[in-house]
Structure 1
Amino acid sequence: MQKEIRTICYDDDLHLEAYRFEGIIQAFPNHFHDYYVIGFIEAGTRCLSCKNKEYTVSQGNILLFNPNDSHSCVQCDGGTLDYRGLNIPKETMLSLAEEVTGQRVLLGFSENVIKNDELNLYLRSLHQIIMDGSKEFEKEEMLLLLISLLIGQYGQSFENCIPECIEEIESACIFMSEHFAEHITLENLCNCCGLSKSALLRAFTKSKGVTPYRYLQTVRIGKAKELLEQGVTSVDAAIQTGFSDQSHFSNFFHMFIGLSPAAYRRIFKEGGRNRG
């Protein structure tokens, strides 16, 4: 059986993460990120669900996910996935948008799946020089050119990328963001937003694309990533983010991120790169 290879690099100059997955068979459940994802498929065919739309993505497809875009994918050709991606924090994207447009306004992508040979060339070249550890300003130049093309062809107001959310659902999200380290029950959420359990589940899933529990786990994983980046141990990160035990934490982290918590922590402990 072909070995799965997962390589990740954090670039201190560009303030973003670069991922490369080779020979991957893992399915990723419905989830979201609080950062932008720009990726492309090098090999393999996947069935992708994003914001309640279904896609079949394969070699040459570029994936564009805004923060909070719910998505899931599974291999659908009996083979494996080779994938490269950039994870760009919102603050980094704000700076890039300001450089490109002259306005410090958060923008979003109007499409989630595209095919564009010019963009593919820029994206692959940029990704490779980041993974190679280049310190030349060529990578910043290429990133700005890539973002310029994306904004010019697929950019729109970030507000237009956010599905309309009723006030009650936003109250539940705020509650989970503020109390993620605590034991939260469905009744807690209902009390804070004034909906019955069944009404909350229906409205929340329709609005956010994930269930309240999946939303909470995603918030916890995002907070855990921040702690691991600061050098906090996996055990302490699990405790501080409300996971019931280390195994539960590790399983969710690997499910959403594609790496173990320990492997992710080593990226920042060992100078920005990890392969495993």
Structure 2
Amino acid sequence: MKTRRIVGRNFEIAVIWADRLKFTAHAHDEYVLSCNISGNEKLILDGKRLEAPEKFTTLYNPGQIQSGDGTECILSIYLEPDFFIKEELSSNSVIYEKPIVGDDDLWRKFVSLVSIVFDRDNNEIAEEKLYQILDLSMSRYTYNSFLPTRNTCDKRIKRVKELLLSRLADQVSLDEISGELGLDKLGLLRMFVKAEGIPPITWQRVKRIEEARRLLKTGISASDTAYRTGFYDQSHLTRWFGRAYGISPARFMRG
């Protein structure tokens, strides 16, 4: 069995894979949101026999007793019991109504998170995607209504952009943005995605790539460009630049 993890302040994201994964009966104090990326899982939850096919998501509340057998690759999100209240996503405890859901929208968001877990510099983007998963799962599968999102406005969007552009070479977190602007993280994400079509950290990465293109065009080396735009190294810049423009920085500089 192999595992890759991202550990945040009050959450953990793990990708686990093997020829066949088997989990004996156990309980978590946390919320556990998992998606079967590959394989069909037969499980027992609080004494009931259930099945979670490939692409299905399981939504476990704290304290539920579970066991599983059969899945090959699973992505799990672990949240502290008071996560939703501390993060101001809900005014009281959240209860997931359905333990197993077949939701293509939710599955796609989990899949997009898998590759992020393997990218060492993407903790901020991982948290962004985590909140998108929570937003969707809470709105569709919980009993509790959560706190209303603050009204969006152009002025706040502008402030977020100014902050991200002023720190273009830095790894800015959602905590920092929401803290400086007085927004809860879920409200921030909803507001920004509604206005720009993508989350704020992703938007900043797009701007970093655009700035890298501008610097390369002036003749600045790829290694210096990577440093100035906040990429870990030249190979990291090359990967993201290639995804955006279809060519490497070196080839771009050659014209």
With the length of structure 1 as denominator, give the TM-score of the two structures: 0.47
Please give the per-residue CA displacement for 1:75-118, whole angstroms capped at 9, x wherever unaligned.
3xxxx62111111122333334x1x34x2x22021111111011
Establish whether residue 138 from structure 1 lines up as the match of residue 129 from structure 2: no
Work out which of the residue numbers 60, 74, 82 in structure 1 matches 2:73. 82
- The percent of aligned pairs where both chains have the same amino acid is 19
* Residue in structure 1 matched with residue 202 of structure 2 by the alignment: none
Contact 1:18–1:87 (8 Å) recurs in 2: yes
Aligned twin of 1:54: 49
1:123 paired residue number: 110
Q: Which runs of 5+ in 2 are unaligned?
A: 146-255
Change (3 A) 1:145 1:9: same
**Runs of 4+ residues over 6 Å off in structure 1:** none
Q: How does 1:252-267 map to 2 (within 5 A)?
A: none
Map 1:163-242 → 2, pairs under 5 A: none
Whether the 8 Å CA contact 1:11–1:130 is kept in 2: the answer is: no
* Matched position secondary structure for 1:41: strand
| More RCO (CA 8 Å, sep 6+) | 1
Query: Aligned-pair RMSD on alpha carbons?
Result: 2.4
The correspondence of residues 34-49 of structure 1 with structure 2, limited to 5 A, is: 34-49=29-44
2:82 corresponds in structure 1 to 91
- Among 94, 101, 104, the alignment partner of 1:114 is 101
Distance 1:132 1:70, change over 3 A: same
Contact 1:42 1:58 in 2 (8 A): no
In structure 1, list runs of 5 or more residues that go unmatched.
159-276
TM, length-normalised to structure 2: 0.51
Between the aligned partners of 1:106 and 1:84, the Cα distance in structure 2 is 24
SS of alignment partner, residue 55 of structure 2: coil
- In the alignment, which residue of structure 2 is the partner of 1:266? none
Larger mean CA deviation between 131-140 and 144-153 belongs to 131-140
Shift of 1:42: 1.7
Give the whole-Å Cα distance in 2 for the aligned partners of 1:135 and 1:74.
31
The whole-number CA distance in structure 1 between the counterparts of 2:33 and 2:120 is: 19
CA offsets 1:115-136 (integer angstroms, 9 cap, x no match):
1011111122234323423346
